[in-house]
Amino acid sequence: MPAAFALLLPLALADRSAATAATAATRAEVVAEAAVAPRTVDLTIASPAMDDRQKVRLLLPRGWSKDSHRTWPTLWLLHGGVDDYTAWTRGTDVAELTADTGVIVVMPNGGRCGNYSDWWNYGDGGSPRWETFHMTELRRILESDYHAGTRRVVAGNSMGGLGAMLYAARFPGMFKAAASFSGYVATLHGHEPGDSSTGWGPSFSCPGTDWRRVWGDPDDQAAIWHAHNPADLAGRLAGVRLWVASGNGKPGSLGGMPFTDPVEAAANENAHAFADRLYAAGVPVTTRFFDGQHDWPYWQRDLHQAYPMLMDALGAG
């Protein structure tokens, strides 16, 4: 070996080691794992995308083991606004529903007003980057350390319904089915140029939140809004089995307030507008529209009704 090359080799190896160490240092990792109920494990993940630690709740199938040599399909359940990763186990019987199905149920934190997006932050980017945390960091952790397979379906309520359709459309082939329950899935529905109220939802739900940080102004940053509007991405959902459910805001068979719920009524308009865009694009969708309000009794029923379709798409059940 030439002497000069021999002298340079340790430096090259050192540079490579430093690069590997830097990559490892910026990789998301599980820093805590806690069993909180039968089959239920809460993960704490140090996330570079979020520049913070985030929680994820898993429901593990019977027979699951870290020593297993097989994988399991995944059902991602995304929570709504002003809520967190505990929402679905707190508000529904999802643990009992999935007990004998053989799927890993993934319930990540999505922020009180995260909108399942990497925030624009006035063009500066940076955290929070919810989409990157979920679709890149968390997905890799699940597949490398928790035996998650590549067959996936996704569902969510309210803001989580937006997230379900966004992720299915923005990551073609990632999910075999997607379901939205009371989701705001036509984010520009009814918007007129100059209407500054279109993005106020996060500000009302999370006082102190500057909603322009999420996607910018719907006129000035129109391209970002369209890129995060499921109705505009309808054609990209071809091949994904779709389910859209929403109440009209009126008290239904599962009870509710004795007047029309304005939040669910607005979600209902979104759901119809989204379904119309799917039909126009020739993309099949199953819809369920009913008397009902923006609350867990209806989302529990939505989950039960959509569940056979979701499991069929996975080849599970």
> Number of structural domains, the chain?
1
H helices of 92-246, where?
94-97, 130-132, 139-145, 159-170, 201-205, 212-215, 222-227
The DSSP string of 238-269 is TTSEEEEEEE-SS-BTTB--SS--HHHHHHHH
Indicate which CATH number applies to the domain containing 223: 3.40.50.1820
Written as one letter, the residue type at 242 is L
Per the domain annotation, does 242 fall within a domain? yes
pLDDT of residue 120: 97
Per the domain annotation, does 201 fall within a domain? yes
Whole-angstrom distance, CA of residue 299 vs CA of residue 291: 13
pLDDT of residue 8: 32
Per the domain annotation, does 228 fall within a domain? yes
Written as one letter, the residue type at 192 is E
Per the domain annotation, does 210 fall within a domain? yes
Per the domain annotation, does 294 fall within a domain? yes
* Residue partners of 47: CB distance under 8 A and separation at least 6: 28, 53, 54, 133, 137
Is the model's pLDDT at 10 over the cut of 90?
Answer: no
Cα distances from 149 to residues 23, 29, 108, 143, 146, in angstroms, run 24, 19, 17, 6, 9
Model confidence, pTM? 0.91
Is the model's pLDDT at 14 over the cut of 70?
Answer: no
Reported as a single tens digit per residue, the pLDDT across 124-166 is 999 999 999 999 999 999 999 999 999 999 999 999 999 999 9
- Please choose, from the candidates 115, 18, 13, 98, the residue with its C-alpha nearest in 3D space to the C-alpha of residue 59: 98
Per the domain annotation, does 3 fall within a domain? no
Reported as a single tens digit per residue, the pLDDT across 37-53 is 999 999 999 999 999 99
Q: Which domain range does residue 280 map to?
A: 26-314
Question: In the structure, what pLDDT confidence band is assigned to residue 202 with cuts at 50, 70 and 90?
Answer: low
Whole-angstrom distance, CA of residue 317 vs CA of residue 313: 10
- Please choose, from the candidates 270, 276, 80, 264, the residue with its C-alpha nearest in 3D space to the C-alpha of residue 187: 270
Per the domain annotation, does 71 fall within a domain? yes
Question: In the structure, what pLDDT confidence band is assigned to residue 2 with cuts at 50, 70 and 90?
Answer: very low
Is the model's pLDDT at 3 over the cut of 60?
Answer: no
Per the domain annotation, does 170 fall within a domain? yes
Question: In the structure, what pLDDT confidence band is assigned to residue 316 with cuts at 50, 70 and 90?
Answer: confident
Q: What is the mean pLDDT of the chain?
A: 91
Is the model's pLDDT at 5 over the cut of 50?
Answer: no
- Please choose, from the candidates 210, 171, 209, 163, the residue with its C-alpha nearest in 3D space to the C-alpha of residue 187: 163
